[in-house]
Homo-oligomer: A and B are copies of this chain.
Amino acid sequence: MKIYLDCIPCFIRQALEAVTMVTSDTKQQETVIRKVLALAADMDMAQTPPVMAQQIHRMVRELAQDNDPYRDVKRQFTQLALQLLPGMEKAVREADDPLGAAVRLAIAGNIIDFGVTANIAEDQVEKELNNALACDIDEHQLDLFRKEINKADTILYLTDNAGEIVFDRLLIEQIDPKKVTVAVKGFPIINDATREDAHLAGLDTMVRLIDNGTDIPGTDLKNGSEALKELFDRADLVISKGQGNYETLSDMNKNIFFILKAKCTVIAKDIGCCVGSMILTGSHSYKGVTARTI
């Protein structure tokens, strides 16, 4: 997905929230914001939004002189998610359709996204999870997804945020951990999950774990790790979590299912849904033969 004009105010807001988080020095904040504005004035609109976010957050980390300014919030929401996990495991176990419940909870976990807003209340996460269990998702897509995960031998699961990945465990358990390789980010970027966060979330003992080799809040196959490239090519199915992965992969001819909460108007318009929708959808750009077409 390319950059839309509507993404631009959001880039500036995101930059502002991030610099405000790392310093209270308004002169330093101003310097970064001016750089972001100049960058945006000349940006290539054909690139995907996460490429801009990557550049913005590199500046923020340089300003903070900290390679992971979201470390604390990542740990906070990982802890919260781990506390909530037993209840959610029970909900999945007792659901009429455990896979459907696990997909819903994996979508709900996607609200822990500090790229969209710097203000996420802890109690909002639990509410979102409980609401999600009763929410509609596209049942036709869920059926297609069920067929695809049964048919696939090799599944690449591209994660999004720290904390959220705790709830991804529920979905991976429903799929079959032996089939799944989980990819996290290669370096810290916003509150996206890295190897360290996956370790704290207990994912590393459950599935094979790789990192994607980059600090883009999405998936950059060109600059990604060899492990990512190899698995992306080889996987029968890719499960892509969150907006950033959608933005960077929506135009790929690959058997991908996108799982996310549509949190902004641009994404919602691109998908063709309302803001706030819980999305499970096969890729419209995939030309191959899958459950979707047979």
CB distance from A17 to the nearest CB of B (A): 10
A41 contacts B45, CB within 8 Å? no
Count of identical protomers in the assembly: 2
Closest Cβ–Cβ distance, residue A28 to chain B (whole Å): 11
The answer to whether B41 touches A34, judged by C-beta atoms less than 8 angstroms apart, is yes
Interface of A is mostly: helix
Tell me, rounded to whole Å, the shortest Cβ–Cβ distance linking A20 to chain B: 8
- A20 and B6 CA atoms in complex are apart in Å by 10
Chain A interface size band reads: 20 to 34
Binds B, one of A7-15, A74-82, A237-245: A7-15
**How far apart sit A33 and B10, CA to CA, in the bound complex (Å)?**
13
- Whether A159 sits at the interface, judged by CB under 8 Å, is no
* Smallest CB-CB A-B distances: 3 pairs: A37-B41, A38-B41, A9-B13
Give chain A interface residues in 21-62, CB to chain B under 8 Å: 26, 29-30, 33-35, 37-38, 40-42, 45
Interface assignment of A221: CB less than 8 Å from any CB of chain B: no
Check: A16 CB closer than 8 A to any chain B CB. yes
Count chain B CB atoms within 10 A of each CB in A12, A13, A16 and give the residue with the most: A12
Q: For residue A42, which residue of chain B has the nearest CB?
A: B34
Q: Bound complex: CA of A13 vs CA of B9, how far in Å?
A: 6
B16 touches A6 (CB 8 A): yes
The listed residue (B16, B29, B34) touching A9 by CB distance below 8 A is B16
